[in-house]
């Protein structure tokens, strides 16, 4: 995915990743209430995502149904890789060390990481 997704566009994508296809009105109704967006704002964001080729739409009578072209897992993997490349020279260990040094890892986080590493070794 060459184009970046803004925070606002990401909110729309989260709705579409949870359930698709949806109309613009459906998306608007599912955006968290704290955003306080109008239907026109959502339609603008859908238009931007269409232009970036991140979503697609198909006609359904007089309305459009929108669906993601990029899977959530693929997006997360790409963004994670960009973060590691930009801030940690593409290496995972400095990221984990940074989180651990800042006390951002709880005991359960550490246990999960240990279990994951055990599983990877097996």
- 18-40 pLDDT, tens digit per residue, is 999 999 999 999 999 899 999 99
Q: Which of 52, 72, 61, 58 is nearest to 22 (CA)?
A: 58
3 has pLDDT over 80? no
Q: What are the residues facing 58 on neighbouring strands?
A: 65
Confidence (pLDDT) at 90: 92
Beta strands in 38-84 (DSSP E): 55-60, 63-68
């Amino acid at each position: 995915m060459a184009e970046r997704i803004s925070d606002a566009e990401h909110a729309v994508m989260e709705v579409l990743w949870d359930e698709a296809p949806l109309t613009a009105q459906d998306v608007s109704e599912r955006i968290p209430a704290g955003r306080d967006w109008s239907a026109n704002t959502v339609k603008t964001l859908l238009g931007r995502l269409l232009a970036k080729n991140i979503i697609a739409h198909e006609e359904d009578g007089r309305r459009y149904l929108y669906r993601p072209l990029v899977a959530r897992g693929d997006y997360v993997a790409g963004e994670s890789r960009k973060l590691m490349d930009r801030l940690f020279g593409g290496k995972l260990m400095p990221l984990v060390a940074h989180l651990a040094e800042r006390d951002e890892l709880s005991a359960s986080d550490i246990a999960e990481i240990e279990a994951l590493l055990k599983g990877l070794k097996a």
